[in-house]
Structure 1
Amino acid sequence: MKKIAPVLASLLLIVACSKTSEKQDKLISGIDTSLNPGDNFFRYVNHEWYDTVQIPKTQTGVGAYRFMNYQQRLKLQGLLDSISQINHPLGSIEQKVSDFYISGLDTATINELGYKPVKPLLTKIGYINNVHYLLKYVIDNLKVNSTSLISFNIGPDQQNSNMNIAHVSQSGIGLPDRDYYFKTDSATVRIQKAYKHYLATLFELTDHDADSSNYFANVVYDIEKQLAESHKTRVERRNVKTNYHKMAVTDLEKRQPNLEWSQVLRDLGAKTDSLDMRQMEYYDKLNTLLPEINISDWRIYLKAASLRHFASKLSEPFTDANFEYSKVLTGQNEKNLRKETIASAVDNYLGEALGQVYVKAYFPESTKVRMEELVNNLQEAYAKRIDNLEWMTDSTKQKAKEKLFAITKKIGYPDTWKDYGYVHVFKDTYFENVISADAARYLRQLKKLGQPVDKTEWFVTPSTVTAYNNPSANEIVFPAGILQPPYFDNTADDALNYGGIGMVIGHEITHTFDDQGAQYDKDGNVKNWWTDTDYDNFKERIQQVIDQYSGFTVLDSIHVNGAMCVGENTADIAGVAVAYDAFKMTKEGQDSTKIDGYTPDQRFFLSIANIWRVKMTDDYLRYWINTNPHSPPKWRVNGPLMNTTPFYEAFHLKPQDSMFLAKKDRITIW
């Protein structure tokens, strides 16, 4: 998942667990027994909820998964409202998060400033008269997270995962993905027009007339479209090996002389003689365009890039313009309330500082203990599945199990919190607070260069409702945010927990063995550990996943992008299978006692449909299909279950049912 306050009662399926009849009535709600579960299990479980729930006007969707983060932001808002009423010692985490929050809510000061905070940047751009100074501006802004032509980060070397090296990736565009510049369907054309209007509005808000602003917007769009031509697609970026090009800086300078790589790295403060250029084609194209495009047009481009990045930190006309574009892109009807927006900003800029407050308030240690038990059980079940694979030889099975049991498990929150000592926060300087936090984030990153990888580092905040697998560290991570209903309830029966968080655990473990993860060894290096025959068998099964999901219709004639989503779909299929196996190892899993009229097996599968209980706007669903590597929620339920034989047995599926697949067509990878 590549990625809370008590959830609203209308969104919950699981609210308690008890053997009393009173509480049993609350265990499962909203199931439409008039429907056939074998035709559309997602709808069978979620029909009543889906057809009655309203998407809040300030949101693009409602329900579980990432949309639970709306409730999390409200929870964080409550924490921040509370601690911001108190004066805290200067430099304490409480002072920083509360004053950051207060500064973001000070809209009177922010509106009075208008675009004054970015005027020095716009003035600086006006003096750029050659490529050298253009690149210098790009780098200066990159150090405060304002990315334009170059995207730079420090991370593990995929050939030596214990050491951090410098990486650059394709960049330079403002639309969500390269394909938005080239599609000609009416929905995409509408987004293109909205984006150009947004750019023009940003120029008008910085004292340009309407005609000039529209001209500038077209200049920017044309440059971005040329850059987008060189971008790899999301499917192409899934190929681990072709997105790694570690080269000597001297060789890069010969290949791309206009990019002045030695000077760029000096300006970045990056002391290194090599660089991993993940998408070489983009930087080859940029090298060509830098002298070809008039420097005056580059200045226009840089102004737009800076204004886009900082718009959400400026006065209300800028945030309104940003929202009007987002409204077309995602279907969100109204702007988020300011408190929600700033609570999210605090989580973004000071996430582990706020996370310490969140964990103290909302995360019991008993949850961590129970999760460790669940993860261990899933690993044991996974090992048994590997042993039983018919398509894999014993030597590869042994390597797979070594990798499986080498996985690092992170649960709840980091053992070591990030240091925010270099972040300076004051109650009346929101823009400067953001810059300080971003500058400190860059310095933290830069310190990693050439150093051993810190395997304790987390890449999401504790409150976030997500989970992730990091293949270069061979680790799976479950933040405190996801360890609550409907995913996890420490008082619930095993069927619900194994069908909930158990499926998520199985999903994340499987990323260790999906089309990308399978290319990494147990230490996180890209290294082959397969026999040729076994890997061919594996790729054949991966192709089956691509082909099957490509046939699933999402909206009108739009289908799941099977190739883009293959890693997540593989993880969903195996995640359900291994979670079920682990559940069957429990006492309840071996029992047949019904609760609320459903057998343990049925409740396991009901829980799976519940954890993806989501409703989105159509516009956001289109955006999702274009940019998200996960299938939409309906197919995160129906897709895996179509391939899960115990589901057929639990709900007595028949050949005439829409979800029925012949046994030979059901996909088993792990």
Structure 2
Amino acid sequence: MKTLTALAAVVFCGAAAAADQPLTSLPYTPSLDRSAMDTSVDPCEDFYQYACGGWMKNNPIPADEARWSVYAKLAGENQRFLWGILNELAAQPQRSQLGEHFAACMNEEAIEAAGIQPLQPLLARIAALEDRRALPALLAELHRSGAMGRAFFGFASGQDFADATQVIAFVNAGGLGLPERDAYFRKDKRSVEIRQAYLAHIERSLGLLGIAEPKAAARRVLAAETQLAQATLSPVERRDPYKSANRYQAAQLQALTPGFDWAAYRQALGAPAEMPVVNVSEPKFIRAWGRLLQSLPLAELKTLLRWQLISTQAPWLNQAWRSEHFAFYGKTLQGVPQMKPRWKTCVQLADQQMGEALGQEFVRRSFSPELKEAVVKMTDQIKAVMAQRIDQLDWMSAATRAKAHEKLATMVNKVGYPDVWRDYSAYTVKAGDFLGNAQRGAAFELARDLAKIGKPLDRGEWGMTPQTVNAYYNAQMNDINFPAAVLQPPLFDAKLDDAPNYGNTGGTIGHELIHGFDDEGRQFDAKGALKDWWTRKDAKAFEKRASCVSKQYAQYVVVDDLKINSALTLGEDLADIGGLVLAMEAWKAHIANMRLKPVDGLTPEQRFFIGFAQWDCSHARPEYARMHARTDPHSPGRYRINGVAVNMPEFAPAFACKPGQKMVKPEAEQCKVW
């Protein structure tokens, strides 16, 4: 994806923001904004600052955000637009599901009055656990209520790595409250402080639950999570699909955890009874978790389950619980000074739980057939350029080239919204029952997901809602996906000339396409199976070229002395560079017979590059920047722009840059893959 979402879901909270008002239509900002520039800066020294300096000055990070960007600002405007839609639906005498869902969420008086009472049935179930043989049914209930993944592990459907046409069950590692495994082990001052703050957060939460000696209990919780973290893959390791592709027979899965009955868990969860094959994403973790279950005293296990439950449910409870949750996940971890207003929480939850119902409203009001047609045309142009570049690669053999063409030809382009909308009729939404609605929404989505196991793949399904300001490539689907919201100004701007649109949206399209051929995506074939289709010589040639990118980005400083982990960001960096190469070639072909003139004092080439740069004008709080650098596969915005531009031979001539300037890299040293 071009944007990032790390830990966004755990910072739902509510404090009033009087200046916010719902919108009845989306505001317009041009995709090339002269006011966003800082022309006092030489573009040949720092192109990002030149293109985005004004934007950063004019758009300080809001008090309830960890990072602010063009994408985030557009997403915020979309949220206000959705807020207007949901307000309208909630005001109707006979409310729809969406209107009832939103109204219950916005009823803070009822939520405050309820306190933690709505959670008592689940807490009572945990308290009643007297025999480990009852744990599978208890975990299933916690997972259905929204603790999937947080309560020890995740259980879901997924495409079979060996046969992407089939959907099988996946068991995934979970159970950690810190962002990633190494946060439990790093010895630097900031990491130690975060662990201490996390321990204090656990202690306060357990105290609010009424647990005796919460300080000692919190230490035991952290010790258990640390034990699980030791067996968990790092973010870099998870980028290797072969580490996650582990087909197990049901009996083999059971052998990993002799004390936990998987058949009983599946039955209680509502998963299909017949499940001969399961993909265990991290067998080492599941084995370690099985040992932990056997070694923990029952009282400690129950405390751990209470912590996992409250950690997932706190954002949906009263102000005291929301504040405690935010104090760690918002303030400490990301540096955010203020909680989000309540309406944002409720819009986000509606998007999460009834996203395609809300998406129909969004599309009807803001996405035209003409816009879809224009983006499909641009995508076809960029795919054609990719086909040409595959033919021109002097380092790729005929055998690998043929497979690359096959993959490109079968790549599906999804624009705007799904052809078939999701049906939410089985989801029960009750007036005034906010937590119940949230839990039933989680159960509805889980049941929908589990129902896919054992069935052929539905290639029409989307992984994002139409109102999401983002785009993505799915390696197993072999499709590129562009929701309607990412095709609005200032990203795609039908009012402006083509140059900034090709630099911005064209670069996004190229980025997602290149993901099919980056260091991770290239390991999947045309059908989405994890299968090596490269000759050994070609693979080495690719890796040599990719290492140029990795070495370049490893030199960039994120904050203080923390540099980019280029092993983590390599796929996104390759997609950024390769995507703009494709967009540039497509734009050149598009304007081949045109005589273009400067606009607003900028040449067409300059407008292309500035349009590209302004898609990611952004800045972040230092706390968030540190976390992002260790958990997110995207480089910071400055390097997603400058790091690409220095590898484009067209950049220096466009701005009359001279050798020796910071944005000039000799063409022989420029990184070239695709």
Where does residue 654 of structure 1 map in the other structure? 658
Residue 417 of structure 2 corresponds to residue 400 of structure 1: no
Residue 262 of structure 2 corresponds to residue 258 of structure 1: no
1:279 to 273, 277, 282: 282
- Deviations 1:120-145 (CA, angstroms, capped at 9, x unpaired): 11111112233322333112211233
In structure 2, relative to structure 1, the CA distance for the partners of 1:600 and 1:353 (3 Å cut) is same
Residue 323 of structure 2 corresponds to residue 320 of structure 1: yes
Where does residue 31 of structure 2 map in the other structure? 14
Where does residue 193 of structure 1 map in the other structure? 196
1:391 to 395, 400, 414: 395
Where does residue 620 of structure 1 map in the other structure? 624
Q: Compare 184-193 and 115-124 and name the one that shifted more.
A: 184-193
1:370 CA drift (Å): 0.6
Letter in 1 for 2:236: V
Give me the whole-angstrom Cα distance separating, in 2, the residues matched to 1:8 and 1:625. Answer: 32
Where does residue 21 of structure 1 map in the other structure? none
> Secondary structure at 1:427's aligned position in 2?
coil
Residue 487 of structure 2 corresponds to residue 483 of structure 1: yes
Give me the whole-angstrom Cα distance separating, in 2, the residues matched to 1:333 and 1:300. Answer: 30
Letter in 1 for 2:546: I
1:654 CA drift (Å): 2.2
Give me the whole-angstrom Cα distance separating, in 1, the residues matched to 2:26 and 2:416. Answer: 18
> Secondary structure at 1:411's aligned position in 2?
strand
Residue 66 of structure 2 corresponds to residue 60 of structure 1: yes
In structure 2, relative to structure 1, the CA distance for the partners of 1:273 and 1:81 (3 Å cut) is same
1:238 CA drift (Å): 0.9
The answer on whether the counterparts of 1:205 and 1:317 sit within 8 Å (CA) in structure 2 is no
Letter in 1 for 2:31: I
Structure 2 matches for 1:403-422, cutoff 5 A?
Answer: 403-422=407-426
In structure 2, relative to structure 1, the CA distance for the partners of 1:28 and 1:505 (3 Å cut) is same
> Secondary structure at 1:657's aligned position in 2?
coil
| Paired-residue identity, % | 30
Structure 2 matches for 1:361-510, cutoff 5 A?
Answer: 361-510=365-514
Residue 162 of structure 2 corresponds to residue 159 of structure 1: yes
Residue 42 of structure 2 corresponds to residue 32 of structure 1: no
> Secondary structure at 1:257's aligned position in 2?
coil
Where does residue 531 of structure 2 map in the other structure? 527
The answer on whether the counterparts of 1:583 and 1:589 sit within 8 Å (CA) in structure 2 is no
- Deviations 1:392-431 (CA, angstroms, capped at 9, x unpaired): 1222222212211211111111111111011111221001
The answer on whether the counterparts of 1:589 and 1:600 sit within 8 Å (CA) in structure 2 is no
Letter in 1 for 2:241: V
> Secondary structure at 1:631's aligned position in 2?
coil
- Deviations 1:563-607 (CA, angstroms, capped at 9, x unpaired): 001110110010110000000011278544111111111110001
1:8 CA drift (Å): 6.7
Give me the whole-angstrom Cα distance separating, in 1, the residues matched to 2:476 and 2:431. Answer: 40
Where does residue 111 of structure 1 map in the other structure? 112
Q: Compare 62-71 and 227-236 and name the one that shifted more.
A: 62-71
Which blocks of at least 5 consecutive residues in structure 1 are unaligned? 16-26, 90-94
1:540 to 544, 556, 567: 544
Give me the whole-angstrom Cα distance separating, in 2, the residues matched to 1:389 and 1:7. Answer: 43
Where does residue 596 of structure 1 map in the other structure? 600
The answer on whether the counterparts of 1:494 and 1:589 sit within 8 Å (CA) in structure 2 is no
1:14 CA drift (Å): 3.0
Give me the whole-angstrom Cα distance separating, in 2, the residues matched to 1:463 and 1:352. Answer: 9
Give me the whole-angstrom Cα distance separating, in 2, the residues matched to 1:300 and 1:74. Answer: 40
Letter in 2 for 1:602: Q
1:167 CA drift (Å): 0.6
1:202 CA drift (Å): 1.9
Give me the whole-angstrom Cα distance separating, in 2, the residues matched to 1:491 and 1:556. Answer: 41
The answer on whether the counterparts of 1:46 and 1:609 sit within 8 Å (CA) in structure 2 is yes
Give me the whole-angstrom Cα distance separating, in 1, the residues matched to 2:170 and 2:637. Answer: 33
Give me the whole-angstrom Cα distance separating, in 2, the residues matched to 1:550 and 1:402. Answer: 33
Residue 180 of structure 2 corresponds to residue 180 of structure 1: no
Give me the whole-angstrom Cα distance separating, in 1, the residues matched to 2:497 and 2:593. Answer: 10
Give me the whole-angstrom Cα distance separating, in 2, the residues matched to 1:243 and 1:237. Answer: 7
Give me the whole-angstrom Cα distance separating, in 1, the residues matched to 2:309 and 2:223. Answer: 17
> Secondary structure at 1:410's aligned position in 2?
strand
- Deviations 1:379-402 (CA, angstroms, capped at 9, x unpaired): 011111111111112222222122
Where does residue 140 of structure 1 map in the other structure? 141
Which blocks of at least 5 consecutive residues in structure 2 are unaligned? 4-21
Give me the whole-angstrom Cα distance separating, in 2, the residues matched to 1:183 and 1:552. Answer: 21
Output the TM-score relative to the length of structure 1.
Answer: 0.94
The answer on whether the counterparts of 1:62 and 1:68 sit within 8 Å (CA) in structure 2 is no
In structure 2, relative to structure 1, the CA distance for the partners of 1:605 and 1:589 (3 Å cut) is farther
Give me the whole-angstrom Cα distance separating, in 2, the residues matched to 1:204 and 1:253. Answer: 36
> Secondary structure at 2:164's aligned position in 1?
strand
Letter in 2 for 1:480: A
- Deviations 1:358-394 (CA, angstroms, capped at 9, x unpaired): 1111112211111100100100111111111111122
1:525 CA drift (Å): 0.8
Give me the whole-angstrom Cα distance separating, in 1, the residues matched to 2:119 and 2:593. Answer: 60
- Deviations 1:518-552 (CA, angstroms, capped at 9, x unpaired): 01111111112212211111122222222211111
- Deviations 1:126-185 (CA, angstroms, capped at 9, x unpaired): 122333223331122112331211211101101111110001111111111111111222
Give me the whole-angstrom Cα distance separating, in 1, the residues matched to 2:66 and 2:252. Answer: 46
Give me the whole-angstrom Cα distance separating, in 2, the residues matched to 1:576 and 1:38. Answer: 18
Where does residue 24 of structure 1 map in the other structure? none
The answer on whether the counterparts of 2:37 and 2:53 sit within 8 Å (CA) in structure 1 is yes
Where does residue 22 of structure 1 map in the other structure? none
In structure 2, relative to structure 1, the CA distance for the partners of 1:554 and 1:576 (3 Å cut) is same
Give me the whole-angstrom Cα distance separating, in 1, the residues matched to 2:256 and 2:447. Answer: 29
Structure 2 matches for 1:275-314, cutoff 5 A?
Answer: 275-314=278-317
Where does residue 605 of structure 1 map in the other structure? 609
Cα RMSD of the aligned pairs, angstroms, is 1.8
The answer on whether the counterparts of 1:584 and 1:590 sit within 8 Å (CA) in structure 2 is no
Residue 268 of structure 2 corresponds to residue 267 of structure 1: yes
Letter in 1 for 2:243: T
Where does residue 124 of structure 1 map in the other structure? 125
